[in-house]
Amino acid sequence: MRRLPFDPKLVKEIQGSPEMSREQGPAFMQAWGGPSQYMFLSRLPMEERLTYTAVQEGYATKEDIRVVTGLTSGEVSRALTSLGKKGLVKDFVAEPVKL
């Protein structure tokens, strides 16, 4: 999840073709939570993407997020603040977890 392996434009093109979509089947982009999720994540800076994904996966403390993402605590804090402003991780903004 640290890097985006392919251009989200390619995902759009595959989705735009019924034949290619059918061929890819249910496993298509599963690792990324589906095509829409990949396209959404591809617009986020890496720190925010990793943090957001960790939160979605259920990691509830900054320390857990830091360990699972490999980011520094400062990067996690900045990412959470930014995500909070975007309304993507409301719980963390309302109740910031102390390190």
Partner 1 sequence: MLVGTPAFAAVANPDYITIEDIYAFRNVLETGDQLYFVRYDVSYNATPNEDASETYQMVLYDVGEATLIHSEPLKYYQHNIISMYFSAAKVTEHGLVWGSAYVVKIRGNPVKFDSLTEGINMRTRTLGGDFKEASVLGTIMLGQAQKLQDDWAGITLLTTGGLLNTTGAYTFEKAIPNLHIMVPEIYSSVLVYPTVERRVWTRAYEESLQAHAGSRLTNSMTSIGSIFGISEGWTSFWLGGVIFLVVVGVMYGATKNPGMSMIMAYPVLVGYAWLGLGSSWLQIVGITFLIVGIMFGIYFILQRFA
Residues that bind partner 1 (CB under 8 A): 3-10, 13-14, 17, 19-20, 23-25, 27-32, 42-46, 49
Burial class (CB in 10 A: 0-12, 13-18, 19+), 93: middle
Nearer to partner 1, 4 or 93 (CB): 4
Shortest CB 97 distance to partner 1, Å: 24
Q: What is the CA radius of gyration of the chain?
A: 15
The SS3 assignment for 14 reads helix
The CA distance from 41 to 90, in Å, is 17
Residues 6+ apart with CB under 8 A from 85: 93
Shortest CB 94 distance to partner 1, Å: 26
Token duo for residue 94: 């309302």
Nearer to partner 1, 48 or 77 (CB): 48
Nearer to partner 1, 6 or 73 (CB): 6
